[in-house]
Structure 1
């Protein structure tokens, strides 16, 4: 997901605020996917 979003070490060095924003967005997306999977496993499996 990081590669698709363009989150790189170069971006981190060049524009740390943009990097942090993208990382926060990715973290929220991953948490959402995990929570959906956990709910699915618990209630439908």
Structure 2
């Protein structure tokens, strides 16, 4: 997650941006799981 810029420092300095990045990462992970495990 640090490669995506999601760090504890960002969480402390800009929590709204941190939440947005976490939501994006979660959505990407769910999409990969659906594509590779459910729809194959």
Normalising by the residue count of structure 2, what TM-score does the alignment of the two structures yield?
0.88
* Bigger radius of gyration among the two: 1
Structure 1 gap segments, 5+ residues each: 41-45
RMSD: 0.7
**Which is bigger in relative contact order (C-alpha 8 A, separation at least 6)?**
1
Normalising by the residue count of structure 1, what TM-score does the alignment of the two structures yield?
0.80
Question: Which portions of structure 1, spanning 4 or more consecutive aligned residues, are displaced by more than 6 angstroms?
Answer: none
Number of equivalences = 39
Structure 2 gap segments, 5+ residues each: none
- The answer to which structure has the higher helix fraction is 1
